[in-house]
Amino acid sequence: MATLSTKTVSEFARDGVVLVRGVLDAEQIDAARQAISEVMAVPGPLAQVASDADDPGRFFEDFCRWSQVPAIERLARQSRVPRVAAELLGDGPVRLYHDHVLVKEGGTTQRTPWHQDQPYYNVDGRGVSAWIPVDPVPLAGCLELVAGTHRGPWLMPRTFLAGEARWFPEGSLAELPDIEADRGAYDIRHYEMAPGDAIFFDFLTVHGAPGFPFPGRRRVLSLRYLSSSARHAPRRWRTSPHFEGLQDELAEGAPMDHPLFPIVA
């Protein structure tokens, strides 16, 4: 059953980003908060702190925890989120790709640099992320997205702190423009968000986020889905996130038909 208006679906096709309010209900928001606490209490092997040691706050991230944290699995598979992802992608069944927990503590100065997600990944073909805060997010603390950039091209992925080219070799992809230097030249979308609202954006949409210069925390659960067009693209480098041993189990160019990526809608 369709949960979105045709206007929302066509906005996503045009812009590569759309806000959907109230995707999670109050019980699901509590479950997501609890799940984020579990992840932070026992971080997984892919967890990292993406802020400098002298940052007055902290930017914590962890990836791929749904198989250990049942509440993340329930939200990723059984909430409205995968159905919205399927409607937006509009080409048949969608697979869960992975989850990503992103917490900026109050006072964090670290920006999330402008980037596209897909060049860090091990897939070709389309996918969509749902960025779901479980705390109120003021406009000035929100993820920002550049409408229309989902049409490409792929842009050079770099490490967030040192700006190193750890994925595609230097010079092999175009560099991101200096968006901060000329913000008015871009169609930048951001929103004041309530817990349980979600920004859905294409894996190629350029996005970044300010620090969080506010007293509260900014806890986010991001759920990511693959369209049926997605194909395995093993890389010569360690992708982010990394899927240990996957290249031995799934051929290059194969559909993402593997227990790590269940069909969810």
Ligand X SMILES: O=C(O)CCC(=O)C(=O)O
Contact footprint for ligand X (CB under 6 A): 100, 102, 112, 117, 129, 131, 143, 207, 209, 220, 222
Nearer to ligand X, 28 or 112 (CB): 112
Token couple for 12: 């996503």
Q: What are phi and psi of 140, to 5 degrees?
A: -75, 0
**Structure letter (DSSP) for residue 37:** H
Least distance from ligand X to the Cβ atom of residue 106, Å: 14
What residue has token string 């509009």?
90
Q: Which is closer to ligand X, CB of 86 or CB of 223? A: 223
Considering the complex, what minimum distance in angstroms separates the CB of residue 120 from ligand X? 9
**For residue 234, what are the contacts with CB-CB under 8 A and spacing of at least 6?**
122, 246, 247, 250, 252
Tokens 């894996």: give the residue: 203
Nearest distance, CB of residue 242 and ligand X, angstroms: 16
**Cβ–Cβ under 8 Å, residues 146 and 187:** yes
Q: Which residues pair with 17 in a beta bridge?
A: 201
Task: Between 23 and 143, name the residue whose CB sits nearer to ligand X.
Answer: 143
Which is nearer to ligand X, 86 or 103 (by Cβ)? 103
CB of 251 to ligand X, least distance (A): 27
